[in-house]
Amino acid sequence: MALEFTTSYLKDALAVFRAYKKLGDGAIAQVTDEQLTIVLDPEMNSIAQIVKHMAGNMRSRWTDFLTTDGEKPNRQRETEFVDPPASRAGVLALWEAGWQLVFAALEPLSDDDLARVVAIRGERHSVMQAINRQMTHYAYHAGQIVLLAKHFKGADWRSLSIPKGGSARYEAQVRAGEASQR
């Protein structure tokens, strides 16, 4: 993720959410349709199940974000971990719809909204706290998706960040970029 210097919490939060989405996009794109639904053991979830859960969470948390409790009465969280979409198209439809809700809720906000109070499961949160809560949740699951995809791809994995052994090259590129901006 290219860092854009900002002192705006909302601008940075949106950039971080977009970075996690991009990680998930890159990981999902590398696996086969079959690998989307593979469960490594009974205590784990498949990529498709994780996406279904994230989409359910996103729908609940970000629909009417400022005006209703983030845990909607019609959400059935436990069902998010069973019967995931069987097709790539179904998985991607849930993934995109969930992220669309995140960005639609956050993009119109201003710094004045950060101190407003919202509820999640009846608990009071400032808007900033609610955003942070979801940011950490989505980071956790994006990491699971990447780990599973990397496991399935093995040596064919295409790095989504700095590849092993690539730190010196990356640092040289950063220095060259900084030098060209001066």
What pLDDT digit, counting tens, does each position of 54-97 carry?
999 999 999 999 999 999 999 999 999 999 999 999 999 999 99
Q: How confident is the model at residue 170 (pLDDT cuts 50, 70, 90)?
A: confident
CB contact at 8 A, 131 and 113: no
CA distance 88 to 149: 14
* pLDDT at residue number 160: 95
* pLDDT at residue number 176: 77
pLDDT at 179 over 60: no
Q: Could you tell me which of 23, 17, 47 has the C-alpha nearest to residue 161? A: 23
Q: Could you tell me which of 168, 48, 70 has the C-alpha nearest to residue 119? A: 70
Q: Which domains does the chain have, with CATH numbers?
A: 9-156 (1.20.120.450)
pLDDT at 106 over 70: yes
pLDDT (average), residues 36-51: 97
* pLDDT at residue number 181: 43
* pLDDT at residue number 2: 54
Q: How confident is the model at residue 22 (pLDDT cuts 50, 70, 90)?
A: very high
DSSP H or E stretch at residue 172: helix 167-181
* pLDDT at residue number 21: 98
pLDDT (average), residues 115-122: 97
Residue 78, SS3? Answer: helix
Q: What is the mean pLDDT of the chain?
A: 93
Percent share of the chain, pLDDT over 70: 96
